Amino acid sequence: MAPEFVQLKQISMKNHPVLNEAWLHSRLSEQPELLGLGELDLITSEKTLPGGGRLDLLFVDSNAETRYEVEVQLGATDESHIIRTLEYWDIERRRYPQYEHVAVIVAEKITSRFFNVISLFNGFIPIVAIQAKALDLGHNQITLDFATVLDHTSLAREEDEADFPADRTYWEDKATPKTLELVDHLFSIVQEIDPGIALKYNKYYIGLARNGIAANYISFKPMKQLVRVRARRLGHSDIEDIEEQLDASPIDYDTFGPNSSYDYKFEIREMPDGQVSDLLRDLFLRIQRRWN
């Protein structure tokens, strides 16, 4: 017997006497995983900032490397909340430059006006927009549903980032000798399958170039403790096979959303052994063949 389909009724939190902004803050403080941003820990809520203003929620990821400045708005996004979100993100990143920072706006409705405003920044600001819905389950029960409508990874534009050239000395100061050595090893794997490729140092990542022209089917971002690797999209026939191998390996990886031009992001902390290097070589080769 097929289960009964029940259509849930959305509740307007903006007009509700109990499900107010403070109530939503409490839910997110207690269960930050609701946001769908990975494993987060709450640093503080209602944080008073220099010069005035109060940041709704401040989270940090499990690696203590990325902070999320979260602004919550009931109802539809408006210009004042958008500007506030960006302002608070900017204050925090200037005060704590040792972390990566991501601006997050949570609202009951993300409007087209929001996307128009964000487009003015040409992808330079890492911002996530999340639509929050309160749904009536009946019997005096409600639940929350969160949907990411803008992922900051989809805003990354290599042609913009490439406008900020850097060199190895820049990355030696920004990262560590250990993680740069790890980049060199990973790049040597790429060179085995693509001898004409070279490293290209940019302000926000280390990419690839051929004859001085960007060819970023793989890119690297060395941090203090690890190297983040982005890998371009594969064909559908390759994905299932390679993911089975990745799942069985010690490589820590995740996938990007459908709006990104990348499939995978890796966090590599240690020099890979022979088996892991072979797996990465296979992955890099498949991507190189697809994109060249």
Q: What angle is formed at CA 280 by the lines to CA 209 and CA 239, rounded to 5 degrees?
A: 100
Best CATH choice for the domain 9-155 from the list 3.40.1350.10, 3.30.1300.10, 3.40.50.720, 3.30.1360.200: 3.40.1350.10
Q: Please check whether residue 247 is in contact with residue 254, taking contact to mean a CB–CB distance below 8 angstroms.
A: no
What is the C-alpha separation between 258 and 244, in angstroms, rounded? 20
Burial label for 174, CB within 10 Å (0-12, 13-18, 19+), is middle
Q: pLDDT for 29-83, tens place per residue?
A: 999 999 988 889 999 999 998 877 899 999 998 777 789 999 999 998 888 888 8
Output the six-digit token pair for 196. 């004409």
Output the six-digit token pair for 225. 């403790």
Amino acid 164: pLDDT = 59
Least-confidence region, from 19-28, 110-119, 130-139? 110-119
Find tokens 């072979």 and name the residue: 278
Q: In terms of pTM, does the model score above 0.85?
A: no
| Residues 189-198, mean pLDDT to the nearest whole number | 93
Q: Which percentage of the chain shows pLDDT scores above 70?
A: 86
Is the predicted pLDDT of residue 187 greater than 90, yes or no?
yes
Closest CA to 201 of 176, 219, 185, 186: 219
Amino acid 238: pLDDT = 57
Whether CATH 3.90.1150.200 fits 158-291: yes
Amino acid 71: pLDDT = 95
What is the C-alpha separation between 53 and 186, in angstroms, rounded? 44
The helix/strand/coil state of 289 is helix
Is the predicted pLDDT of residue 279 greater than 70, yes or no?
yes
Q: Which one is predicted more confidently, 11 or 106?
A: 106
Q: pLDDT for 224-261, tens place per residue?
A: 888 988 887 665 555 666 777 777 777 776 665 444 44
Find the largest Cα–Cα distance for the chain: 66
Q: At 155, is the pLDDT very low, low, confident or very high (cuts 50, 70, 90)?
A: very low
Q: Please check whether residue 170 is in contact with residue 200, taking contact to mean a CB–CB distance below 8 angstroms.
A: no
Whether the CA torsion 240, 276, 188, 269 is positive or negative: it is positive
Domain ranges across the chain:
9-155, 158-291
